[in-house]
Structure 1
Amino acid sequence: MRKIVVRGDGFALAELADGDREYLDEHSDKAFDVDHDGRDMPIQYPVHRLAITDESGRELLGQVTWHPVSYGPSYGCLAWNFGRHLLPNKRGKGIGTAVLKALVRHLFATTDVDRIEGSTDVTNVRAQKSLEKAGFTREGVLRGAQLRGGKRQDMISYSLLRTDPIP
């Protein structure tokens, strides 16, 4: 049984169980997976992960991840960059927006980082709408930010500050 960290309306965020990452990979449609070009990342950072499950914590619906990014040499320049992935048959039901709101509340309640950011593909209009419904502000286009299918893809960046209202 997964340990539930955050409960939401119709979902929970829980610690991943053995085999969850493999299950998600096997059942993903890989619509926005990035290419791995074989080069090592010059900077390694810790990636935090929680499973998105049904309310009971039994059924796996997806996962959220977050890791630190820094825009300067002090803690005040630190942000959380998050990712969200729902299994294809769980998308379009409004759960993604609720998960984002719950993740934001969790990160602001358990850490003292003041900025949370994320991005989505320029063609992923549903994700853009979800981010905006969750209170994120569209910041702009990240030109060529991801490599997918051997081609550079633009991303739309979004952020939420601790001082922003969360709908």
Structure 2
Amino acid sequence: MRKIVVRGDGFALAELAKGDQEYLAEHGDRAFDVDRDGRAMPYEAPVHRLAITDETGTELLGRVMWHPVIYGPSYGCVAWNFGRELLPRVRGKGIGTAVLKALVRYLFDTTDVDRIEGSTDVTNVRAQKSLEKAGFTREGVLRGAQLRGGKRRDMISYSLLRTDK
């Protein structure tokens, strides 16, 4: 059984169990997976992950990930950049927005970071609407920010500040 970290209405955020990453890889549609280009990353940020499950922590529905982004030489210049992945069978049911709200609450309650940011493909209108419903502010276009299918893809950036709540 997974240890539940945050409970929401109809879902929970829980520690990933053995085999969860593999299950998600097998059952996801990889719609927005980025290409690996073989070059080493210049900086490896620690990536934190939680499973998105049903309320009991039993059924795996997806995952959320976040890592620090540093914009300057002090802690006040650190932001959390997050991503989320829902399995195709649970998309379009409003859970993504609820998960974002719960993740924001969790990060602001458990860390001192004042900015949470995320981005989505310019064609992913459903994710854009979800981010806006969760209280995020659209900041602009990140030109060519991801490489997918051998092509550079534009992303739309969003953020939420602690003071926005």
Q: TM-score range by the shorter chain?
A: over 0.9
Residue 13 (structure 2) aligns with: 13
Superposed, which structure 2 residues align to 1:1-167 within 5 Å?
A: 1-165=1-165
Aligned residues with identical type, % of pairs: 86
Q: CA RMSD in A?
A: 0.3
SS in 2 for 1:163: helix
How far off its partner does 1:42 sit? 0.7
Aligned residues: 165
Q: TM-score, normalised by structure 1?
A: 0.98
- Aligned equivalents of 1:51, 1:3: Cα separation in 2: 10
- Aligned equivalents of 2:34, 2:45: Cα separation in 1: 18
How far off its partner does 1:114 sit? 0.1
How far off its partner does 1:77 sit? 0.3
- Aligned equivalents of 1:95, 1:111: Cα separation in 2: 24
Give the ranges of 4+ consecutive aligned residues of structure 1 lying more than 3 Å apart after TM superposition: none
SS in 2 for 1:85: strand
How far off its partner does 1:86 sit? 0.1
- Aligned equivalents of 1:24, 1:8: Cα separation in 2: 21
- Aligned equivalents of 1:91, 1:41: Cα separation in 2: 31
How far off its partner does 1:162 sit? 0.1
